A and B are shown apart, each in its own frame.
Chain A
Amino acid sequence: MNAITVRDLTRRFGDFVAVDRVSFDVAPGEIFGFLGANGAGKSTTIRMLCGLLKPTSGSASVGGLDVTRDPEGVKRRIGYMSQRFSLYEKLTVDENIRFYGGIYGLSGARFEARRRFVIEMAGLEGRGRSLTRDLPGGVRQRLALGCAILHEPPIVFLDEPTGGVDPLSRRRFWTLIDTLSTGGVTVLVTTHYMDEAEHCHRLAIMHAGRLAAIGSTSELKQVFADRPIVEIDSSNAIEAMRALKDLPSVEKTSVFGTAVHAVLRPGAADTGALTRRLTAAGLQVRAIVPVPPSLEDVFLDVMDRSPQP
């Protein structure tokens, strides 16, 4: 049985369609990523799956329970953490854990065991009496995750959980997510960091309320199966893009750092035409090498081909 099943889920706010007939399944223990720009409908979808927002139409079941019919049952089976790391800043680490334990009905030996687990997970041994406000962002993030999974939910929703956290803490956070998943916990996470998306077993790309693409990273990269991508290292990336714009063998170009990625049309493996065009435009070409498609290439490609709202 799927951990999460979503069928034609739709949510309107007045005339605005925030989520438009979205369907997908998530298997138990899977890390499922939601990728999309701000306002693409990721958070609205999560809020509906958590039983916080009623769908306008369609259905969704989480942990085998219908989110519309039994939102309270759903709440018992899920953990939720948002980018705001919703802890009480003026309370200590212990007091925060105690509060979240309390509202999830934990007590006695079970609570004590879970408290120790969270303290250890967040790396907060001996700091139980520190005010949450005084903790560094990365530590607060881990504590917030700990509070969200205090009651050992089989399904965890993470809404942009790594906002404003340094790269090292992000890496450590994702190690925790991997551990959860290995332990059988289903994780649904939204992000707009491509490197984080690579951690997910499967990804859904949302655009303007619709599900624009879905699959594992390697499946998603299949869209470039017959369209090679080359990375062009030249003296001026912007000028290079302009020069290649109307070349028949180039489908599109985009800037990647100081380089340019050019998507070539099917069958156009020859890069000689590119070099000639760039040199003719007075640019210095240092290298043109074929590269495997990155997730960012996929994301931009999906955005390009989705109907604009």
Chain B
Amino acid sequence: MKKALAVGRKEFRQIVRDRRTLSVLLVVPILFLLLFGYALNWDVRHVRLAVDDQDHTTQSRDLVSAFVDSDYFDLVGAVRQDQIRGLMNRGDVRAVLVIPSGTGRRLLAGRTAPIQVLINGDDANTATTVMGYAQALLNGLSTEYRLARYPVTGRPPVTVEPRIWYNPELRSALFLVPGLIAYIAMLTAVISTALSVVREKELGTMEQVRMAPLGTLSYVTGKSLPYFLVSMISSLGIVVVAMWLFDLPMRGSWPLLVLAIALFLAGGLGLGLLVSTVSDSQQVAFQIAALVSFMPTLLLSGFIFPIASMPVWLQVTTYVVPARYFLVVLRGIVLKGVGLPIVWPDMLALVAFAGVVLGLAAVRLRREWA
């Protein structure tokens, strides 16, 4: 144990003295958070809207103000039919509300009044969202008109009052930050561990250390402990910065969060060690580490792309990606405030993953040393 501490102290000094490693471990995560937090944003606000009102009645003006009063649309101005194409082509407006003449009359008469909403579809994600907003607004208006028309019943037969739990405003930052923590923790843990071991192989210090009466266990423990601590600090740093900048709620228990991160990091460190046993140069180690950590964590964890909408064979693959379980735990703790009774199966999966990779790494390392 004392020997492991000697290794750990040395490794820690090396990290602190090596600006590059230290910045990768501490600065890059925060930079990622800012980049992803601000740039990767699916929330659509302030859609530029033009109005072609051919009706000019109280009812058509009500329609326009329903759009403008919402947060979602900014009125650019009134346009004529022949100006619309030019505005859309230049991207000056993203949506156009066309109210045909006779709309007011039809509404008063209780007949269906068709309204046209033109949406710029060059960005499919935004278009879908804008369409949703427009539909919601128009549905609301329709209900009001129906109410006015059937005052006797007083109430429409069915109403939907949606409540979105955990993230009522559906802000994508809240959805992304947990994924980001997983992504960054994996990056720092796997890559830095793999590189630090392979660097010792390259420099020949590994051989020197192997000549000492130092067990693989002490070596591995001492070697990973500093990276574990630094990664833990940087992961918790992301949570705190996200709470401050993106109003990330932290509804669950901090000790449980730390435990979850610790389990995830243990798996990452194990993976890094495993990578180091199959590579002899830092370059190879970096490539393998990136391949086994970045890609799955980014694509197969549910970080950005929902697992449920993947083809079945790919869904099966996600079962070996630790980030998949970590995200469930993380979102559970941070957004829902749930505890161990809910997240234990995923915690157990993290324990299993960490156990398997650390075991494999130990076996491979011992074989390499013997």
A interface list, Cβ under 8 A from B: 50, 52, 54, 72, 75-76, 78, 80-82, 84, 86-91, 95, 98-105, 107, 148
- Tell me if B14 and A88 are in contact (CB < 8 A): yes
- With a CB–CB cut-off of 8 A, which chain B residues contact A98? 6, 9-10
CB pairs A–B below 8 angstroms (25 shown): A82-B208, A84-B204, A86-B205, A86-B207, A90-B14, A90-B17, A91-B10, A91-B13, A91-B14, A95-B13, A98-B6, A98-B9, A99-B6, A99-B7, A102-B2, A102-B6, A102-B7, A102-B10, A103-B3, A103-B209, A103-B213, A103-B214, A104-B212, A105-B2, A148-B208
Collect the chain A residues with CB atoms within 8 Å of residue B18's CB. 90
| Number of B positions contacting A (CB below 8 A) | 25
- The answer to whether B212 touches A103 (Cβ under 8 A) is yes
Instruction: Please state if A52 and B210 are interface contacts (CB–CB under 8 Å).
Output: yes
> A98 vs B14: C-alpha distance in the bound complex, in angstroms?
14
B211 at interface, CB cutoff 8 A: yes
Q: B203 — which chain A residues lie within 8 A by C-beta? A: 84, 86, 88-89
Chain B residues near A105: list those with CB within 8 A: 2-3, 213
Chain A residues with Cβ below 8 Å from B9 are 98-99, 102
Q: How far is the CB of B148 from chain A (nearest CB, A)?
A: 78
Q: Indicate if the CB atoms of A75 and B208 lie closer than 8 Å.
A: no
A90 and B199 alpha carbons, distance in the complex (Å): 12
Which of A75, A81, A88, A90 has the most C-beta atoms of chain B within 10 angstroms of its own C-beta? Answer: A88
Residue of A nearest to B211 (CB): A80
Minimum Cβ distance to chain B for residue A107 (Å): 7
A102 CB → nearest B CB, Å? 2
B35 at the A/B interface (Cβ < 8 Å)?
A: no
Contacts of B2 in A (CB 8 A): 102, 105, 107
Cα-based distance from A86 to B370 in the complex (angstroms): 20
Cα distance A98–B6 when bound, in Å?
8
Q: How far is the CA of A100 from the CA of B18 in the complex (A)?
A: 20
A104 engages B207 (CB within 8 Å): no
Q: Is B5 an interface residue (CB 8 A)?
A: yes
Of all A-B residue pairs in the complex, the 9 with the closest CB atoms, nearest first, are: A102-B6, A86-B208, A84-B204, A80-B211, A99-B10, A75-B213, A86-B205, A103-B212, A76-B213
A98 vs B2: C-alpha distance when bound (angstroms): 12
Of B5, B203, B208, which is in contact with the most chain A CB atoms at under 10 Å from its CB?
B208
Residues of A with C-beta under 8 A to B215 = 72
How near does chain A come to B151, taking the closest CB pair, in angstroms? 82
Q: A84-B204, A103-B214, A105-B3 are in contact. List 7 more A-B contacts (CB 8 A).
A: A52-B211, A80-B208, A84-B203, A86-B207, A89-B203, A102-B10, A107-B2
Residues from chain B with Cβ under 8 Å of A72 in the complex: 213, 215
